[in-house]
Structure 1
Amino acid sequence: MLQIAVLTGAVSISCVMVVSELLLLAGVLTPGRVLIILALVTTGAALAPAGRSAHCTRTENR
Structure 2
Amino acid sequence: MQWAFEDEAETQGIEPWELALELIAESPEQLKSMRLEAHAQVAEALGMEWDEYCGLNDIQP
TM-score normalised by the chain length of structure 1: 0.38
Which structure is higher in RCO with an 8 Å CA cutoff and minimum separation 6?
A: 2
Structure with the largest fraction of helix: 2
TM-score normalised by the chain length of structure 2: 0.38
